[in-house]
Amino acid sequence: MAKKLIVTGSMGLIGSEVSEYFLQKGWEVHGIDNNQRAVFFGMQGDNSSNKDRLKVYGDAYQLHNSIDIRDRQAILDIIPAIKPDAIVHTAAQPSHDRAASIPFEDFDTNAVGTFNLLESLRRYDTSVPFVHLSTNKVYGDAPNFIKMKELETRYDYDDATYAEGISESFSIDQSKHSLFGASKVSADISVQEYGRYFNMPTACLRGGCLTGPNHAGVELHGFLSYLIKCNIEEREYTVFGYKGKQVRDNIHSYDVARFIEEFLKAPRVAEVYNIGGGKDNSVSILEAFDLIAKISGKPMKYKYLDENRIGDHICYYSDLRKMKAHYPNWDITKSLEDVFVDIYTRYMETAKA
């Protein structure tokens, strides 16, 4: 019999990538997704088109779109009903800007929803691996207090301790997180605690910029996808502070799915990994403008607001050494340019369709 995987947020960027990846490996995938992204961001954030990609797998993919992870009883019922061999939890309210205007929805989705899943799984079977898509926002704005240097097109760390980026030992305490960051900290700590307290195989993947061609990028979430969309449509992009030199590391959703597979092959208890593109896949907004202009042949239209987003990182890229040490068969396979080209190509194909 095929192994069974539950993927929450299965119509989202990472959820759909993980679902398709494991469907291709012969797993039976049960998606839990009621398209709350369209509620959070309006129709521009609607990612239901990803459902069509997964339909081609027939009965191997089953979407439970009436289930909301905030509904405790529904979650307590569905996990023992499906009897999964693993759970990958990607569902979330993902925007730290949006969270301030919908604080209850944010906390109930990110913190309570995660807790519901953990407790339901504990009651069902404590040996089933649970992978949680956390975020680098659990570190709050603390990375901004690392000594920085300003270069021509970007900021970078000016402290040898962070030459490879931010490691998992970096403090998540006593910093400004945004309400989104706070709700994700709650979820992150809960995932770790269920692992340690109940000896459950759990992992928190603290993502940098997770991206790819199936991302329904909007201004409040999905930096790279939205930026490339603006370039193609010749729309004005707004840069919020830091001279456009703020830096993010970008990892293709395919490489995220590959790491999850490695973890499920050899799960560990209560682990935390900073998953991102690392230093090699880091890019500032100004550098991203130049790269997409080179690919598309269109100059980037933008305006600058001299006010950064609250709690926004000046520079952030992930130290990947722990991930590579624990899972030596895993590495980044998609370069920064690969990521840009994949997103650009998908938008152009969609526009022609």
Average of pLDDT values for 96-124?
A: 96
Average of pLDDT values for 55-72?
A: 96
Average of pLDDT values for 19-47?
A: 89
Average of pLDDT values for 173-183?
A: 95
What pLDDT, on the 0 to 100 scale, is given for residue 287? 98
Distance in angstroms (rounded) separating the CA atoms of residues 30 and 304: 43
Residue 61 has pLDDT above 90, yes or no: yes
- Quick one: which H or E segment has residue 341? helix 336-352
Concatenating the DSSP letter of every residue in 93-157 gives: ---HHHHTTSHHHHHIIIIIHHHHHHHHHHHH-TTS-EEEEEEGGGGTTGGGGS-EEE-SS-EEE
- Tokens at 8, concatenated: 């929450």
Q: Residue 255's pLDDT band (boundaries 50, 70, 90)?
A: very high
Residue 89 has pLDDT above 90, yes or no: yes
What is the CB-side half-sphere exposure of residue 69 using CA atoms within 13 A?
Answer: 33
pTM for the whole structure: 0.95
Which residues, including other chains, have CB under 8 Å from residue 288's CB and lie 6 or more apart?
224, 227, 340
Instruction: Give me the percent of the chain exceeding a pLDDT of 70.
Output: 98
Which CATH superfamily groups domain 4-352?
Answer: NAD(P)-binding Rossmann-like Domain (3.40.50.720)
Residue 222 has pLDDT above 80, yes or no: no
What pLDDT, on the 0 to 100 scale, is given for residue 221? 66
Instruction: Give me the percent of the chain exceeding a pLDDT of 90.
Output: 86
Residue 135 has pLDDT above 70, yes or no: yes
Q: Residue 37's pLDDT band (boundaries 50, 70, 90)?
A: confident
Condensed to tens digits (0 to 9), the pLDDT of residues 306-343 reads 999 887 899 999 999 999 999 999 999 999 999 999 99
Average of pLDDT values for 3-9?
A: 98
Distance in angstroms (rounded) separating the CA atoms of residues 223 and 22: 26
Residue 110 has pLDDT above 80, yes or no: yes
Q: Residue 212's pLDDT band (boundaries 50, 70, 90)?
A: very high
So where are the chain's domains? 4-352
What pLDDT, on the 0 to 100 scale, is given for residue 208? 93
Average of pLDDT values for 246-264?
A: 97
Average of pLDDT values for 266-295?
A: 98
Residue 252 has pLDDT above 70, yes or no: yes
Concatenating the DSSP letter of every residue in 165-223 gives: -B-TTS--SSS--HHHHHHHHHHHHHHHHHHHHHT--EEEEEESEEE-TT---BTTB-H
Task: State the average pLDDT for the chain.
Answer: 95
Average of pLDDT values for 56-64?
A: 96
What pLDDT, on the 0 to 100 scale, is given for residue 137? 94
Q: Residue 67's pLDDT band (boundaries 50, 70, 90)?
A: very high
Average of pLDDT values for 127-134?
A: 98
What pLDDT, on the 0 to 100 scale, is given for residue 40? 84
CB 30 within 8 A of CB 270: no
- Quick one: which H or E segment has residue 25? none
What pLDDT, on the 0 to 100 scale, is given for residue 277? 97
What pLDDT, on the 0 to 100 scale, is given for residue 220? 63
Residue 219 has pLDDT above 80, yes or no: no
Taking CA 38 as the corner, what is the angle to CA 311 and CA 93, rounded to the nearest 5 degrees? Answer: 35
What pLDDT, on the 0 to 100 scale, is given for residue 256? 98
